[in-house]
Amino acid sequence: MLLWSELEAAIPLDELPAFHRAFLDMHRPELGAQALPLRRVQQYVTQTLHTLVGRGLAEMAEGDFKVVPEALPEPYRSRFR
Protein backbone atom coordinates (compact mmCIF):
# COMPACT_ATOMS: atom_id res chain seq x y z
CA MET A 1 0.00 0.00 0.00
CA LEU A 2 1.08 3.55 -0.67
CA LEU A 3 0.88 6.41 1.79
CA TRP A 4 -1.34 9.14 0.36
CA SER A 5 0.72 12.04 1.72
CA GLU A 6 3.87 10.56 0.17
CA LEU A 7 2.09 10.20 -3.17
CA GLU A 8 1.02 13.83 -3.06
CA ALA A 9 4.52 14.94 -2.06
CA ALA A 10 6.04 13.04 -4.98
CA ILE A 11 3.80 14.73 -7.55
CA PRO A 12 4.91 18.20 -8.65
CA LEU A 13 2.70 20.88 -7.13
CA ASP A 14 1.44 22.09 -10.49
CA GLU A 15 0.25 18.53 -11.30
CA LEU A 16 -1.65 17.94 -8.04
CA PRO A 17 -4.98 19.38 -9.21
CA ALA A 18 -4.88 17.13 -12.29
CA PHE A 19 -4.00 14.13 -10.12
CA HIS A 20 -6.87 14.83 -7.73
CA ARG A 21 -9.31 15.32 -10.60
CA ALA A 22 -8.16 12.11 -12.29
CA PHE A 23 -8.58 10.29 -8.98
CA LEU A 24 -12.15 11.57 -8.69
CA ASP A 25 -12.90 10.81 -12.35
CA MET A 26 -11.85 7.23 -11.66
CA HIS A 27 -13.84 6.72 -8.47
CA ARG A 28 -16.68 9.25 -8.71
CA PRO A 29 -17.22 10.14 -12.36
CA GLU A 30 -20.69 11.47 -11.58
CA LEU A 31 -19.08 14.50 -9.89
CA GLY A 32 -17.65 15.93 -13.09
CA ALA A 33 -14.39 16.74 -11.31
CA GLN A 34 -12.91 18.57 -14.29
CA ALA A 35 -15.45 21.37 -13.80
CA LEU A 36 -15.31 21.56 -9.99
CA PRO A 37 -13.52 24.32 -8.09
CA LEU A 38 -10.29 23.14 -6.49
CA ARG A 39 -11.64 23.44 -2.95
CA ARG A 40 -14.51 21.08 -3.80
CA VAL A 41 -12.09 18.69 -5.47
CA GLN A 42 -10.03 18.52 -2.29
CA GLN A 43 -13.13 17.89 -0.18
CA TYR A 44 -14.32 15.13 -2.48
CA VAL A 45 -10.87 13.51 -2.51
CA THR A 46 -10.99 13.18 1.27
CA GLN A 47 -14.54 11.81 1.17
CA THR A 48 -13.56 9.37 -1.54
CA LEU A 49 -10.56 8.13 0.42
CA HIS A 50 -12.90 7.35 3.32
CA THR A 51 -15.17 5.49 0.90
CA LEU A 52 -12.20 3.49 -0.37
CA VAL A 53 -11.44 2.44 3.20
CA GLY A 54 -14.91 0.90 3.35
CA ARG A 55 -14.31 -0.88 0.05
CA GLY A 56 -10.97 -2.32 1.18
CA LEU A 57 -8.91 -0.24 -1.27
CA ALA A 58 -7.44 2.01 1.42
CA GLU A 59 -6.67 2.05 5.13
CA MET A 60 -6.51 4.81 7.70
CA ALA A 61 -2.93 5.42 8.81
CA GLU A 62 -2.43 7.87 11.69
CA GLY A 63 -4.25 10.81 10.14
CA ASP A 64 -3.33 9.73 6.63
CA PHE A 65 -4.42 7.04 4.21
CA LYS A 66 -2.70 4.07 2.66
CA VAL A 67 -4.08 3.13 -0.75
CA VAL A 68 -3.54 0.18 -3.03
CA PRO A 69 -1.88 1.10 -6.34
CA GLU A 70 -5.00 -0.04 -8.21
CA ALA A 71 -6.90 2.83 -6.58
CA LEU A 72 -4.74 5.35 -8.45
CA PRO A 73 -5.52 6.58 -11.94
CA GLU A 74 -3.08 6.15 -14.78
CA PRO A 75 -0.53 7.50 -15.51
CA TYR A 76 0.07 8.03 -11.79
CA ARG A 77 -0.40 4.37 -10.91
CA SER A 78 2.58 3.29 -12.98
CA ARG A 79 4.78 5.92 -11.29
CA PHE A 80 4.27 4.36 -7.88
CA ARG A 81 4.26 0.61 -8.40
pLDDT tens figures, 31-77: 999 999 999 999 999 999 999 999 999 999 999 999 999 999 998 88
Question: Given this model, what pLDDT does residue 75 score?
Answer: 86
Put residue 56 in one of left, alpha, beta given phi > 0 → left and psi -120 to 50 → alpha. Answer: left
Computed from CA positions of residues 33, 38, 40, 46, in that sequence, does the dihedral angle turn out positive or negative? positive
pTM over 0.85: yes
Q: If you count them, how many residues does the chain have?
A: 81
Question: Given this model, what pLDDT does residue 45 score?
Answer: 98
Question: Given this model, what pLDDT does residue 71 score?
Answer: 96
